Amino acid sequence: MQASFKRVLLKKRYPLAISRGTSSGSENLFVSVKYFGQTGLGELAGTNTPDGENCNTGIEQLTPFLRTVPEDASIAQIWTKAREAGVRPRAMAALDMALWDAFAKACAQPLWRIFGLQRTAQPTSITVGINPPEITRERVPEMLARSGAKFLKVKLGSPQGLEADKAHFMAAKEASEPFNAVIRVDANGGWTLQGALHMQEWLAQRGVDYIEQPLPQGAYEQLTELFKKRILPVFVDESCWFASDVPKLADRVDGVNLKLMKCGGLTEALKIVATARAFGLKTMIGCMGESNVSISAGAAIGSLFDHIDLDSQLNLVNDPTVGAELVDGVVLPTCSPGHGAHFIE
């Protein structure tokens, strides 16, 4: 099995600031793989990679790995083999979604139908990063008007502290009121336990839907304490990468947020959803600076989730691809064979 690679520098319309830093764009790697006589397309998003995964590491890992893959191997076998070989999650995700794209094309069916799913989903959130209040007041109305989004996710966990979080949140809330958008909050692990306990009460009084990743990754004992005293539903993101992470989180969260770039693609995403449901947890799918290629792959399984955060393509000024469309606030996959995304000619 062989792959070809295309690198594209993607620029964000608005830089996205979270508790760990700010991203104004990324160099993403697009991976084309021939499988079942069809060419599938996948993507590695190079933004916010604390482990250093990028286009170079993707090419360096996938090129030799694919030489070892038998042509008759199943997608599940290839995913497992890649994990055992130490291929990193984002590179695995690019390969995995390309394989599923090719397989669905060979079946002449859209990918969502291959998975036995419907072409429906919950409306997506649109995300506003950490900003000074005056910037937030400018951006939120433009974002909501342009997208028609029904949910607004506000990034908190500012390095400047809780008062800065409150000022930013109130600016976002006031700016979103004419649009009747429901507000969610994601702290990206930027709060202490005491800060999270205080903020959940403050945010609940202001109509927030849920809080996501309030505590740093690995703070399991503190997460247990917060969960016991929770007022709002608690979801985790950075704390959950693979299906094997779900059982140890199940007694201390209300739900998990999976991302194709974290879990290594659609094959593992389906396992995470199944495991979460087995433990009675809610599910969410998010994104990481991805173009419409990865967004379309995520949208193909969108009907599985209680909450959707597939909005990174909406913040790009030079997405070279088309695919899933935003219809009345919902990111819908196409009816074309595969995940439906392709490069603009």
The tokens describing 234, both together, are 């608690």
Q: Is 328 exposed, middle or buried (0-12, 13-18, 19+ CB in 10 A)?
A: exposed
**pLDDT of the residue at 345:** 80
**pLDDT of the residue at 17:** 87
Strand-by-strand arrangement of the 21-35 sheet = 3-18, 21-35, 38-44
pLDDT band at 215 (very low <50, low <70, confident <90, very high): very high
Residue 48, pLDDT > 60, answer no
How far, in Å, CA of 175 to CA of 171, rounded?
6
CA 94 to chain centre: 14
Q: What one-letter code names the amino acid at 175? A: A
Percent of the chain exceeding pLDDT 70 equals: 99
Q: Residue 155: which of 147, 244, 143, 305 has the closest Cα?
A: 143
How large is the angle between the packed helices 89-106 and 75-84, nearest 10 degrees?
Answer: 170
Cβ neighbour number for residue 47 with a 10 Å cutoff = 20
Q: Residue 321: which of 282, 291, 301 has the closest Cα?
A: 291
Domains of the chain with bracketed CATH: 3-108 (3.30.390.10), 114-343 (3.20.20.120)
Helix H or strand E encompassing 100: helix 89-106
**pLDDT of the residue at 2:** 86
Q: Which pTM was predicted?
A: 0.96
Query: Quick one: average pLDDT of 228-240?
Result: 97
Q: Which residue has the higher pLDDT, 162 or 19?
A: 162
Helix H or strand E encompassing 159: none
Q: Residue 123: which of 149, 154, 152, 155 has the closest Cα?
A: 149
**pLDDT of the residue at 21:** 85
